[in-house]
Structure 1
Amino acid sequence: MTVLPEACGLLVVRTGFSGQDAWQAVRAALGVTDEESFVEEFQDEVEVVNDPAYAGLTSDQLLALLPRGYTNPILVVVDSAALESAEMPVLVVDLVEERGRTFRVIPAELPSIQINLSIANMDFFEFADSADADGVFRGFGTS
């Protein structure tokens, strides 16, 4: 398997290929502005990998394919579960604190997670432990 591409920002890897319309909806949702208007900053920091060579790979398999020197604290996976849900909860994978730990997040909350982790304002567990009972983080105070 090919190593994931070098990236200056956050890698978002598509592993689910169940439908192009669903994929386009996730892509559009990743650009939704959150309450703090992080969308423009966030879009500039995202590298999307849309290659069928990564179809069906697990988060553990993707961890082994990260490029040397990738410094972002998380990896984002758009898998079949994200594409088949109306909420499009993408998988967030920890690369620092508990490497490989995961939770899902609705796309509108991803910029906040990325920014807070990249400046060490918050820790991965704070978001993961705040996910709802179904394992999806929808923001603080939504449970």
Structure 2
Amino acid sequence: MTSYPTLPATAHDEVVLVCVCYEDHAPKWGGVLERLGAGPEDATIPLDGGVTLRVAHDVAWDQVPGGALPALLPVGTTAAPVVAVADISAVYGDSGLLLVDARDMPGRGVRVADGRLASVLRQLVEGKLEFADLVRGMDRWGTYEGDGGDQATPTPTDVVRTGFPPLPAAEDLTLLVRTDFHDEEGWRAVLDSVAAYDDEGIDDEGDEEEDVIALRAVVVDDRAYEGLMPGQVPALVPAGPSTVMVALADAVTMSEPDRPLYAVDLHDTPGQAARVALDEAGSMAANLEIANMDFADFA
């Protein structure tokens, strides 16, 4: 697994703002700092309400996924409940900063519009707002109380259990992770469907299936991941290799005819979930891999 530098320690009422976009080894902030009323030389950015952003940049953090950031916080310090992230969407797309949960379910993320940032951070620091409230209140683009419409599948905020081991590497592939172990017949049907198509969209009997793209997946069938929820996934994915997508096969997957998987966003809004029928999962992964579509297009 790739090793990254530790994020700076924060004082009371401080939240780290880390840049994960770089060009020629220099941090690429786009309009982020300007929107926050700061300049490139500022080490801290005071916000209304008393919360301060501590600016952090190191080219070693270039493209580090948001889900990996909580693990980079200093051990033994009283860290803020979130990490603020200037990622490619915030830098190039004028999206709100990505806030990554560092306390309740580390690694999951929600975007917050610039105008709401100070208030939301203050409420999080004071404990008047839980990260789960942000998740429940985000639109399909992953923005808290955004105007992009409701998610087709609300992202769950519950925690069934904790203590999951890291997921295996799956460079340029999808991880298909079994999380329910009560229906062997249903799981076998999932595996048979995944194996039924080759990379050309041709089934195992040699017939072409229109609009079917094979799901290229590393299958994880291990009871260690029983009960794994979408929001817990980003922190478990190795930060180095580029895993395209993680898809969970849960009780719903096993029981419904179209075998809907729980697809999990790893990049735009880590931990956001979307249901996708098994025979459509390959197309989803392929479009995400080439950035032809965003996760929100499926959410």
The two structures have a TM-score, normalised by structure 1, of 0.78
Determine whether 1:71 maps to 2:242.
yes
- Aligned twin of 1:16: 180
Distance 1:61 1:70 in 2: 18
Distance 1:103 1:29 in 2: 20
Query: Do the aligned residues in 2 keep the contact of 1:72 with 1:118 (CA within 8 Å)?
Result: no
- Aligned twin of 1:38: 213
Farther off after superposition, 28-37 or 61-70:
28-37
Farther off after superposition, 64-73 or 98-107:
64-73
Query: Do the aligned residues in 1 keep the contact of 2:230 with 2:272 (CA within 8 Å)?
Result: no
Q: 1:4 aligns with which of 162, 167, 181?
A: 167
Query: Do the aligned residues in 2 keep the contact of 1:73 with 1:96 (CA within 8 Å)?
Result: no
Query: Do the aligned residues in 1 keep the contact of 2:288 with 2:294 (CA within 8 Å)?
Result: yes
Displacement of 1:123 after TM fit? 1.1
Distance 1:16 1:106 in 2: 17
Q: Which amino acid aligns with 2:219?
A: V
What SS class does the counterpart of residue 280 from structure 2 fall into? helix
Query: Do the aligned residues in 2 keep the contact of 1:94 with 1:101 (CA within 8 Å)?
Result: yes
- Give the % identical residues: 35
- Aligned twin of 1:132: none
| Pair member with larger Rg | 2
Provide runs of 4+ in structure 1 moved above 3 Å. 31-34
Summarize deviations over 1:86-134 as a string: whole Å, max 9, x none.
Answer: 2211100011111111111111101111111101111111122xxxxxx
Q: Which amino acid aligns with 1:99?
A: P
Gaps of 5+ in 2: 1-163, 202-208
Q: 2:190 aligns with which of 7, 26, 43?
A: 26
The count of corresponding residues between Structure 1 and Structure 2 is 124
- Aligned twin of 1:50: 221
Distance 2:245 2:285 in 1: 8
What SS class does the counterpart of residue 236 from structure 2 fall into? coil
Structure 1 residues 121 and 6: alpha-carbon distance in aligned structure 2, compared to 1, 3 A threshold: same
Query: Do the aligned residues in 1 keep the contact of 2:212 with 2:279 (CA within 8 Å)?
Result: no
Determine whether 1:87 maps to 2:250.
no
Higher RCO, 1 vs 2 (CA within 8 Å, ≥6 residues apart): 1
Q: Which amino acid aligns with 2:189?
A: A
What SS class does the counterpart of residue 7 from structure 1 fall into? coil
What SS class does the counterpart of residue 97 from structure 1 fall into? coil
What SS class does the counterpart of residue 288 from structure 2 fall into? helix
Gaps of 5+ in 1: 129-143
Structure 1 residues 37 and 88: alpha-carbon distance in aligned structure 2, compared to 1, 3 A threshold: closer
Query: Do the aligned residues in 2 keep the contact of 1:76 with 1:90 (CA within 8 Å)?
Result: yes
- Aligned twin of 1:135: none
